[in-house]
Amino acid sequence: MSGGKISIILKLVLGIVEYLSTMETEFRRLPSVDRLMSDERINQLREVYPHSLVVDLVRQCLEQDRLSITLGNPCPSVDEIIESVCSRVEVLVHPSLRPVINASGVILHTNLGRAPLSKEAAAAMDMVARGYCNLEFDLDSGARGSRHVHIEQLLCQLAGAEAALVVNNNASAVLLALTALAKRREVIVSRGQAVEIGGGFRIPDVMRQSGAKLVEVGTTNCTYVYDYEQAINERTAALLRVHASNFRVEGFTHQVTIEEMLMLGSKYGLPVLDDLGSGCFLDTTMFGLDLEPMVQKSVTLGVGLTSFSGDKLVGGPQAGIIVGKKFLVDKLKRHALARAVRIDKIRLAGLAATLVHYLRGEVIEKVPVWRMIAMPLGEIERRAETWAQALEGLASVIEGETMVGGGSLPGNALPTRLVAIKEKGKGRNVAHLLAKRLRFQVPPVIGRISGNVLLLDPRCVLPEDDNIVIQTLRNAVASLG
């Protein structure tokens, strides 16, 4: 071996020895659990929180610091470790889930919790949350009852259906229907409808979990009746239509209508399942939007089971709603999976209160989602001007669009007026800085950045929250200095 290679090896060995020695020194600097527990600041935590919790958090921080040292970082000081422990306590005891004001320009913003609830729905949820309720207790007979009775009649009246069932969400609804009706059998769906519904969750995945075999027919852009008919055999359990609620295919396209699917299903004695995704009880064309498939039409045409979400265009809490023929709904109710995906008492109360708005014909006045959709442009412009005045010359009012969102009405938008934060103010670009400051306010106000301009959309904010928004804007501007 040459002298040069020996020299390199020696340098590497010496480097490793030096690194290990430094690491050992840093490890020795780490204080013990007892040393930290005796600190006055930790003692103050112990006066408020259980001793076991504080000890556990101290050990977690020390373990994290050991890992950091092995990566070559220096040992933190005692003050830094104690600060880390205190920060962990703050994170644990102050829940991170909190209200925000959505000025993003997307009404049904999935990341912001989708549909805000009406005052009546929130009050109904609060009422049953505060104590016991007759969730599964028949007050007339004094015997055990069913949670379905609190919602089924409402849904049947609204949709014109024979029976109804509510579960955790629409993905659960589809999973339950496929499991109960098509396990170890085949379900035929158009290739263009084997969609992803968000977060990497796909219809083929749902079907795989249900035990049903997905049989895709046609092509991405074109599917015809004969494609379905050629795939039908003795193992076929159902035909499935999945509404493309979060995307649009344009150009040379053809899809089989629900009426054609029902005729084919009747010919072969097969139920048709209709996954509407968002689901809607109102005619969206009244608001200048494209027609979103309505639940009532699906039921009236004779679909076996129609499923949709409760927290999108329905405007209620998270839920999966199933309406349709009684003999099919009864199969779902009796299936073991129904218990695993059932809805809880709090959301059941909120959904029932939301549906009552539909029965009373007061949806546009009471349900926030529809209040926002129906909001007159003149009112939005007046509110936007008031918001802009609070920003001390940093903003102007411009024309813009509001998206419905939540996997509803893809490509559709409502005209709005936006508060636009100018690219330069006070001698600097403030859009990103102000957006961050707004997120740190109480409550946080969420806008959107477009081309280095911060945009705030009043259509997504109820008028009764305007005073809060204006004060928050003033506070954020003042914090810019």
352 and 425 share a domain? no
Q: Last residue of a domain, which of 366, 398, 413?
A: 366
Q: Are 220 and 200 in contact (CB under 8 A)?
A: no
Closest listed residue to residue 475, CA positions, set 452, 430, 450, 442: 442
126 and 267 share a domain? yes
337 and 204 share a domain? yes
296 and 401 share a domain? no
Q: Is residue 105 part of a domain?
A: no
Q: Pairing state of beta strands 163-167 and 213-217?
A: unpaired
The enclosing domain of 296 has a CATH number of: 3.40.640.10
Q: Is residue 7 part of a domain?
A: yes
Q: Is residue 98 part of a domain?
A: no
The enclosing domain of 446 has a CATH number of: 3.90.1150.110
315 and 185 share a domain? yes
Q: Last residue of a domain, which of 341, 366, 391?
A: 366
Q: Is residue 343 part of a domain?
A: yes
Q: To which H or E segment does residue 216 belong?
A: strand 213-217
Q: Is residue 437 part of a domain?
A: yes
Q: Is residue 123 part of a domain?
A: yes
244 and 143 share a domain? yes
336 and 189 share a domain? yes
DSSP 140: T
Q: Last residue of a domain, which of 366, 388, 403?
A: 366
Q: To which H or E segment does residue 44 belong?
A: helix 40-48
300 and 154 share a domain? yes
196 and 312 share a domain? yes
**Domain extent for 185:** 119-366
pLDDT tens for each residue of the chain, 481 residues long: 565 666 666 667 665 655 666 677 878 889 999 999 999 999 999 999 999 999 999 999 999 998 888 888 888 999 999 999 999 998 888 888 999 999 999 999 999 999 999 999 999 999 999 999 999 999 999 999 999 999 999 999 999 999 999 999 998 999 999 999 999 999 999 987 776 665 555 667 777 778 888 888 888 788 888 998 999 999 999 999 988 755 566 667 788 899 999 999 999 999 999 999 889 999 999 999 988 999 999 999 999 999 999 999 999 999 999 999 999 999 999 999 999 999 999 999 999 999 999 999 999 999 999 999 999 999 999 999 999 998 878 899 999 999 998 767 777 899 999 999 875 544 456 788 889 999 999 899 999 998 889 999 999 999 999 999 999 999 888 877 6
Q: Pairing state of beta strands 320-324 and 408-421?
A: unpaired
Side chain identity at 199, as an amino acid letter?
G
Say how far apart CA 454 and CA 457 lie, in whole Å. 10
290 and 379 share a domain? no
Question: Cα 250 vs. chain centroid, distance in angstroms?
Answer: 27
390 and 289 share a domain? no
Burial class of residue 452, CB neighbours in 10 A (0-12, 13-18, 19+): exposed
79 and 149 share a domain? no
Closest listed residue to residue 438, CA positions, set 391, 401, 398: 391
Place of tokens 């935590």: 45
Q: Is residue 412 part of a domain?
A: yes
Total domains in the fold of the chain: 3
Q: Is residue 21 part of a domain?
A: yes
